Structure 1
Amino acid sequence: MRRRVLLTAAGATTTGLLAGCTGNPAVAEAPTVRFSLDALPDAALPGEVLYTIDPAEGTDADAQLMDRILDGGTTTKALREPLPPQQHLLYDGHVYELAADVVDTTPGTSYSVKVDVVTGSVNDDAAIQFSDLPDVDQAQFAAKGLADGDPVGIGTSFHYTDTERDNSVLVPESEYDYITWADGAEAEWVVDDAHDAPVHTYRYTATTVASASEYGRRMRERFAFPLTDLSAEQREFVETAITDEYYTVAPDESPPDAFVALTDQFRDEEQAHALDDTAEDDLNGPYLVQYNEDVYWTVLLVHGPAFRTTTSD
C-alpha cells in the first residue's frame, strides 16, 4: 500500500477533520481551533511527511517493484511512473531517492468508455457474447473487475496498445453496441472519447538517502523548536492536546486570548516537511515541537479573525 502523507492536516479542510462529529461532512463547519501533539521518535518522523511504501503488504505491486529496484535496478512498463522519481520516499526503515529513465515507448490509446445499463431491449444483431470477445477485450474487462457483467452502469477507461487495438472488436470503432453474458447479464457498450497514451518502459535505480532514524534526526534538528514561557493556561492547552488527542475550540466559539498568544510562537517557525521539499508559508500546518524534553509531531489548525495577521490567516 502506498501513501503520501504530505501534510494533509494542513492542506485538507478542517471540515473533513470534524466530519465524524457532525455526521454530515458536506455541511460540517471548520473549528476555530484544532491543536494536536503526538510524541514520536526520530524513526517515525519520515512517515509523517514522505511518500511511503508499506513492506508489510507482501502482495503490493509497489513493494514488489521497490524490492526489484533495490536488487540492482529494474525496468517496468506503465503509462506514468508507478513510483515517484526525484523525491524522498520511505521504504522498510530507509529513505531513498529514485531515478526513472524512459528506455522504450510503445504507442497506445486510452478510451473513455461506458459499460452501461440496458434501458430497453438488446438488439441481438448488434450484440456479442462476452466469451466471444477477443482476448484483448476480455482482458480489459477483467482488469476493471467487469468480466462477470456486474456491475454495469459505470464510466471508465480502457487502454490498448496499437497492436492490441488492431485485435479488438470494441475500439476504436466498436462493431457491437451490446455485450451479453451466459448468466443473462447484459450491458450497453459506448466509446465516448480517446487520447494518445503511450506505454513507457522505465528503468529504475535507487540511491539511499538515510535510515529512517537518521532522517528523522535531521528533521528534528532542523525543525524542532521549544514552547517557552508558557502560562498555566497555555500549559493546559498543550497537556489537553497530548492527553485527549487534540485541543479544540468549536466553530461558534472565540479562542481564548492565551491560545492566540500561544500560536504566536509558531508564526516564525518552519513547518515540518520532507528534507528535499519546501515548507508551506502558512500558520496552519505540521510542526515539530519540544515540550518537557520530548519532541511532538504537532498539527496546528486555526480559523477566524483572532488569528489573522499581515502574514497569515
Structure 2
Amino acid sequence: MRRREFLAGGTALLALPLAGCAHPPVVLDMTEATPTRIADERSLAPDPGSDEYAVVAAARGNDSVTRTRRGRLFYDTDTVRVNGSVYAVSETRVDSTDVTAYELRIDFNPDDATPTLGEIAYANLPPADDRRLDELIESESKRTVEGADIVVTYGTPAEVGDSVFVPDPQYDILVYEGDRYRVTITSRASTRKTYRYEVTRIASLSAFVDRIRERYRFTLSGLSEAERDVVDAAVEGGYFQESDAFHSVVERFHDHDALSRTDSDGTWLVRYEGEEYLADIEW
C-alpha cells in the first residue's frame, strides 16, 4: 500500500502536537489518482536493471525462462508492468540444490592489521567485490563495534563472479582511504532453488487502469458539512484528527471494496467533486 512522506514523519506532521506519539492516531489522505499511481496499487513496475524486469523481459519473448535463486522473486504480486504493457507472471519452483554460500566480514578497527595473505587497496578491487562493498564501505567505514562491523552476503562462487575474496581469499587486509580493515570469509550450507517463469500479457497500461476503475472506483457524495470538512482537509494536505466526522467518513469508505486493506488501514479509489483520488486511511 502506498504511503506518503508525511506518514514517515515528513513536514506535514510539524503542525501536529508533539506530545505523546509522533505519528497521528488517524489519517485520511487523498491524492490525485494518476493512471500510474492507480496501476501502482495493483501491480509492480520493476526498474529496468532489476532481476524482476530481466525475468519478465526474457520470458515474454519465450515460452518460459528458468532462474536459480535463494528464494522467490515475486513475493507480493503476480502482476507486472514492463514497457507499457501489463503481464501476469507465474513463478513455479521446479528444483532445488544444496550449495555452499559465503559471507564476507569486515572489521574496521582490528586489533592486528598485519596481513597474513596480503593486502589490497579498495580502488583495486574487481567489479565483483566493488559492487557489493561500495555503498556499505562509504556509509559505514567510520562506525566501529566489537568484531565485524559489516557482513556482506556473497552467495555461491557461481553467483559471485571474479572475486578476490570468495571462495578462496587472496587478501585479508583491505586498505580504504588510508585505513586498514581486517577481512574474513565464512561459509555456510544453503539451498538454491530453480524457478520457472511464464508471463501472459493482460492489457495495455490504460486498459488495465480502466479495469481497476470499473472494479473499485466509487463516488463520495451526500456528505454532511462536518464530513465535507474532513474530506476537504484530506484533499488539501491530510486530515489527522480523531472525530465523529472522521469515523463517519471512514464508514462510507468501508461500504466499498478497497484496493488494499488490513485491519487498521486501507487504500480506496474514489471520485469527489468531479476529481479522482487515491484515499489512504488509517483508523
| TM-score between both structures, scaled by the size of structure 2 | 0.72
Q: How far is 1:298 from its partner? A: 0.8
Q: For the residues of structure 1 that align with 2:178 and 2:274, how far apart are their CA atoms?
A: 68
Q: Are positions 1:288 and 2:251 aligned together?
A: no
Q: How far is 1:206 from its partner? A: 1.0
Does the residue aligned with 2:118 lie in a helix, a strand or coil?
strand
Distance 1:182 1:195, change over 3 A: same
Q: Where does residue 183 of structure 2 map in the other structure?
A: 189
Q: How far is 1:74 from its partner? A: 3.9
Distance 1:28 1:91, change over 3 A: farther
String of CA shifts for 1:111-144, please: whole Å, max 9, x gaps. Answer: 33311124333344x232348xxxxx96652341
Q: For the residues of structure 2 that align with 1:119 and 1:128, how far apart are their CA atoms?
A: 15
Structure 1: segments with no counterpart, 5+ residues: 1-6, 132-136, 250-254, 274-278, 303-313
Q: Where does residue 134 of structure 1 map in the other structure?
A: none
Q: For the residues of structure 1 that align with 2:83 and 2:194, how far apart are their CA atoms?
A: 25
Q: Where does residue 17 of structure 1 map in the other structure?
A: 8
* Contact 1:85–1:100 (CA under 8 A) maintained in structure 2: no
Q: For the residues of structure 2 that align with 1:33 and 1:192, how far apart are their CA atoms?
A: 47
* Contact 2:52–2:73 (CA under 8 A) maintained in structure 1: yes
Does the residue aligned with 1:248 lie in a helix, a strand or coil?
coil
String of CA shifts for 1:226-267, please: whole Å, max 9, x gaps. Answer: 32321123222222222x232232xxxxx3332232222123
Name the amino acid aligned to 2:26.
Answer: V
Does the residue aligned with 2:111 lie in a helix, a strand or coil?
coil
Structure 2: segments with no counterpart, 5+ residues: 142-148
Q: How far is 1:109 from its partner? A: 2.2
Q: Are positions 1:63 and 2:50 aligned together?
A: no
Q: For the residues of structure 2 that align with 1:100 and 1:287, how far apart are their CA atoms?
A: 28
Q: Where does residue 114 of structure 1 map in the other structure?
A: 105
Q: Where does residue 160 of structure 1 map in the other structure?
A: 156
Q: How far is 1:100 from its partner? A: 3.6
Q: Where does residue 145 of structure 2 map in the other structure?
A: none
* Contact 2:90–2:198 (CA under 8 A) maintained in structure 1: yes
Does the residue aligned with 2:89 lie in a helix, a strand or coil?
strand
Instruction: Quote the RMSD (CA, aligned, Å).
Output: 4.1
Q: Where does residue 267 of structure 1 map in the other structure?
A: 254
Q: Where does residue 145 of structure 1 map in the other structure?
A: 133
Name the amino acid aligned to 2:107.
Answer: D
Q: Are positions 1:232 and 2:229 aligned together?
A: no
String of CA shifts for 1:155-197, please: whole Å, max 9, x gaps. Answer: 22222248989x987658x797x32459865321234562313
| TM-score between both structures, scaled by the size of structure 1 | 0.66
The equivalent position to 1:79 in structure 2, one of 60, 70, 77, is 70
Q: For the residues of structure 2 that align with 1:286 and 1:182, how far apart are their CA atoms?
A: 47
Distance 1:86 1:51, change over 3 A: closer
Q: Where does residue 146 of structure 2 map in the other structure?
A: none
Q: How far is 1:45 from its partner? A: 1.3
Q: Size of the alignment, in residue pairs? A: 265
Q: For the residues of structure 1 that align with 2:77 and 2:174, how far apart are their CA atoms?
A: 47
Q: Where does residue 216 of structure 2 map in the other structure?
A: 223
Name the amino acid aligned to 1:155.
Answer: V
String of CA shifts for 1:31-75, please: whole Å, max 9, x gaps. Answer: 133212223255641212322224xx5x55543443323223444
Q: For the residues of structure 2 that align with 1:65 and 1:226, how far apart are their CA atoms?
A: 39
